[in-house]
């Protein structure tokens, strides 16, 4: 039920924000632009034994996309996301700097541990280009991978928060403390995606006072950064 409610809420949010963003970008189109014509960027990372073992984030130029984090033997279950214009702009700027992954060999070819097979994919219409690597020395590729990982961290925190709110409220203080740490370290991209869940925690006396106060602190930090 927690996952179902999350999917429903996200679908409504993404639909609302996408329509609004489309109207702001070009009012003359009045919603006539097909989503399929927008360029799309996808990041996947596969590392058996990690949590999660498989990550996939896809986003188009309007910021609408999907996130998936799961074990390799679990069925696909992508969730809708809506990223901010600032994050989307940076993602696509780095992609442009990398030549849209056309003919790029990003692999360092150094003897390093398995850090997860990472794949960048860019799609514009019928044209698709991609690059993959385990470890790269390319700074733009490093930044792009790190930015996607920061998006994934927010989504993982959101999953844990929503589970704890329903089934493990005593675990909320520890999870919220980790969010505070990650926020302070700049390890989260678009942390405002956590706001709806944080507001529910801060306003519901059913949860421990410590959880409520930490949720409120995180909300204030997010609002201050915006």
Pairing outcome for strands 117-124 and 79-82: unpaired
Judge whether residue 209 has pLDDT over 80.
yes
**Tell me, what's the pLDDT at 10?**
55
Gap between the Cα atoms of 210 and 183, Å rounded? 18
H/E run at residue 109: none
Cβ contacts of 220 within 8 Å, gap of 6 or more: none
* Predicted local distance difference test score (pLDDT) of residue 173: 98
Task: Give pLDDT, residue 6.
Answer: 54
CB 148 within 8 A of CB 156: no
- 79 beta partners: 67
Q: The tokens 């399929």 sit on which residue?
A: 36
Handedness of CA 179, 183, 185, 188 (dihedral sign): positive
Q: Say what angle helices 139-167 and 85-97 make with each other, to 10 degrees.
A: 150
Given a cut of 70, is residue 128 above it in pLDDT? yes
For 147, other C-beta atoms within 10 Å of its C-beta total: 18
- Going edge to edge, which strands form the sheet with 79-82? 79-82, 64-70, 54-60, 40-46, 117-124, 127-133
- Which tokens belong to 186? 């700049």
What are the pLDDT digits (tens) for 48-93? 999 999 999 999 999 999 999 999 999 999 999 999 999 999 999 9
In sequence order, which ranges of the chain are alpha helices (DSSP H)?
A: 2-25, 85-97, 139-167, 172-184, 195-203, 209-225
Instruction: Write the pLDDT tens digit of every residue in 11-48.
Output: 444 444 444 444 444 443 344 344 558 999 999 999 99
Using DSSP's 3-state secondary structure scheme, residue 40 falls into strand
Residues 143-194 have pLDDT tens digits of 999 999 999 999 999 999 999 999 999 999 999 999 999 999 999 999 999 9
pLDDT value at position 100?
98
In terms of Cβ atoms closer than 10 Å to its own Cβ (0-12, 13-18, 19+), residue 145 is: buried
């Amino acid at each position: 039920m927690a996952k179902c409610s999350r999917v429903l809420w996200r679908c409504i949010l993404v639909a609302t924000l996408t329509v609004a963003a489309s109207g702001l970008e070009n009012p003359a189109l009045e919603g006539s632009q097909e989503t399929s014509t927008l360029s799309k960027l996808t990041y996947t990372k596969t590392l058996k034994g990690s949590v999660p073992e498989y990550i996939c984030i896809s986003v188009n130029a309007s910021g609408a996309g999907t996130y998936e984090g799961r074990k390799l033997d679990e069925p696909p279950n992508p969730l809708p996301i809506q990223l901010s214009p600032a994050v989307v702009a940076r993602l696509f700027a780095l992609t442009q700097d990398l030549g849209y992954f056309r003919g790029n060999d990003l692999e360092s070819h150094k003897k390093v541990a398995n850090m997860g097979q990472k794949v960048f994919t860019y799609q514009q219409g019928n044209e698709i280009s991609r690059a993959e690597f385990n470890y790269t020395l390319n700074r733009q590729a490093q930044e792009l991978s790190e930015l996607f990982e920061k998006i994934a961290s927010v989504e993982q925190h959101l999953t844990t928060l929503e589970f704890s709110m329903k089934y493990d409220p005593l675990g909320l203080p520890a999870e919220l403390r980790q969010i505070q740490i990650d926020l302070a370290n700049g390890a989260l991209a678009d942390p405002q995606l956590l706001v709806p869940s944080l507001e529910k925690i801060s306003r519901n006396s059913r949860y421990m006072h410590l959880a409520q106060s930490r949720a409120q602190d995180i909300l204030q930090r997010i609002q201050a950064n915006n």
